[in-house]
């Protein structure tokens, strides 16, 4: 096992793919999704500062927690990972460029690892920055309302928790969509199925909740948001998972799915005429 060669190849693939992911045309949608939290809470802070709306400091962090769990995790990061990870291989097939990698003297397991790490790094950079900046905007706004020290109380721990959940979300969803991009000719159809399942987990029994990625992510959020609305009577509550179980579980899921992607890539044969 030539680990030095494999590390060098992964680093080369990582640099090439990271440039394509962050600077390609498909990256525009990912930038918009990542910046959605910053734009929303920036406008909220400006409107409150000019007196256009009234807000209470004790409700702002609950508002942020609800936005993070209901929109940023379930939609922004979800679709961001769809755009990033599904195109790592499927996009190359559609552009008829994947054969350049397959003809190169590089193991396909190394290729899968390099591409996955490039997608992971790009998504963590973008959505991690969106999470951090939006949370800091909320902290600054609340500090002005309360006239107290910026980032006081347990806020640094909350910021670290939100960033950790963002990284794990990119790991979990990224590995799922990496595999889908290799297994399905039209991966958007199973992606819609995953989205529907992740959206209805609040209504399924506690045992079935554990099959979803969102259950483990929400268990790690520092502020738990109660489910409300007309569907509340149909919601089934469940105990959040322990961090000592949620974090290793998501890491194990990622490892298994990336291994599955590498095995699928070893048997991959390209026929551009069939696409």
- Quick one: how far is CA 152 from the chain centroid? 28
User: Which residues contact residue 65 at a Cβ distance below 8 angstroms, ignoring those fewer than 6 apart?
Assistant: 221, 222, 223, 224, 225
Residue 243 to residue 220: CA distance in whole angstroms: 6
pLDDT for residue 167 is more than 70 = yes
Nearest to 64 by CA among 177, 140, 1, 176: 140
Nearest to 111 by CA among 11, 255, 207, 236: 11
What pLDDT is recorded for position 56? 67
What pLDDT is recorded for position 230? 45
Between 273 and 134, name the one with better pLDDT.
134
What confidence tens digit (pLDDT) does each residue in 76-106 have? 999 999 999 998 888 888 888 888 888 888 8
Alpha-helical regions (H) of the chain: 3-23, 27-49, 57-67, 78-85, 90-94, 98-103, 108-146, 155-183, 188-200, 206-209, 213-220, 243-266
Q: How many CB atoms lie within 10 A of CB 108?
A: 17
Please, what is the average pLDDT of the chain?
Answer: 85
State the average pLDDT over residues 248-258. 94
In this structure, what token pair is assigned to residue 205?
């029994």
Provide the number of structural domains found in the chain. Answer: 1
Sign of the four-CA dihedral 170, 171, 173, 176: positive
Category of 223 on φ-ψ map: left (φ > 0), alpha (ψ -120 to 50) or beta: beta
What pLDDT is recorded for position 231? 46
% of the chain beyond a pLDDT of 90: 42
State the average pLDDT over residues 62-82. 92
What pLDDT is recorded for position 258? 93
Q: How many CB atoms lie within 10 A of CB 64?
A: 26
Distance spanning both ends of the chain, measured CA to CA: 36
The single-letter DSSP state of residue 203 is: G
157: domain range?
3-274
What confidence tens digit (pLDDT) does each residue in 201-248 have? 887 887 888 888 999 999 999 888 766 554 455 456 667 888 899 999
User: Which residues contact residue 30 at a Cβ distance below 8 angstroms, ignoring those fewer than 6 apart?
Assistant: 80, 83, 84, 122, 123, 126
Confidence of residue 124 (pLDDT cuts 50, 70, 90): very high
Between 118 and 210, name the one with better pLDDT.
118
Nearest to 20 by CA among 100, 112, 119: 119
Residue 47 to residue 191: CA distance in whole angstroms: 37
The pTM for the full model equals: 0.90
């Amino acid at each position: 096992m030539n680990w030095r060669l494999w590390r060098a190849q992964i680093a080369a693939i990582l640099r090439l793919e990271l440039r394509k992911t962050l600077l390609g045309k498909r990256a525009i949608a990912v930038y918009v999704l990542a910046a959605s939290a910053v734009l929303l809470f920036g406008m909220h802070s400006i409107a409150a500062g000019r007196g256009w709306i009234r807000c209470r400091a004790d409700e702002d962090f609950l508002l942020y927690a609800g936005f993070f769990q209901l929109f940023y995790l379930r939609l922004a990061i979800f679709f961001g990972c769809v755009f990033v990870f599904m195109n790592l291989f499927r996009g190359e097939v559609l552009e008829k460029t994947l054969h350049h990698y397959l003809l190169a003297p590089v193991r396909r397991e190394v290729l899968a690892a390099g591409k996955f790490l490039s997608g992971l790094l790009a998504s963590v950079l973008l959505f991690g920055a969106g999470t951090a900046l939006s949370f800091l905007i909320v902290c600054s706004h609340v500090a002005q309302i309360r006239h107290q020290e910026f980032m006081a109380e347990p806020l640094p721990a909350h910021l670290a928790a939100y960033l950790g959940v963002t990284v794990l979300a990119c790991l979990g969803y990224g590995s799922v969509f990496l595999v889908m991009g290799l297994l399905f000719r039209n991966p958007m159809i199973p992606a819609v199925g995953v989205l529907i399942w992740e959206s209805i987990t609040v209504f399924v029994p506690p045992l079935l909740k554990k099959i979803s990625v969102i259950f483990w992510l929400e268990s790690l959020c520092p502020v738990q948001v109660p489910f409300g609305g007309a569907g509340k009577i149909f919601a089934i509550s469940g105990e959040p998972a322990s961090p000592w179980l949620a974090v290793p579980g998501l890491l194990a899921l990622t490892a298994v799915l990336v291994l599955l992607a590498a095995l699928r890539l070893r048997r991959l044969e390209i026929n551009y005429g069939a696409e």
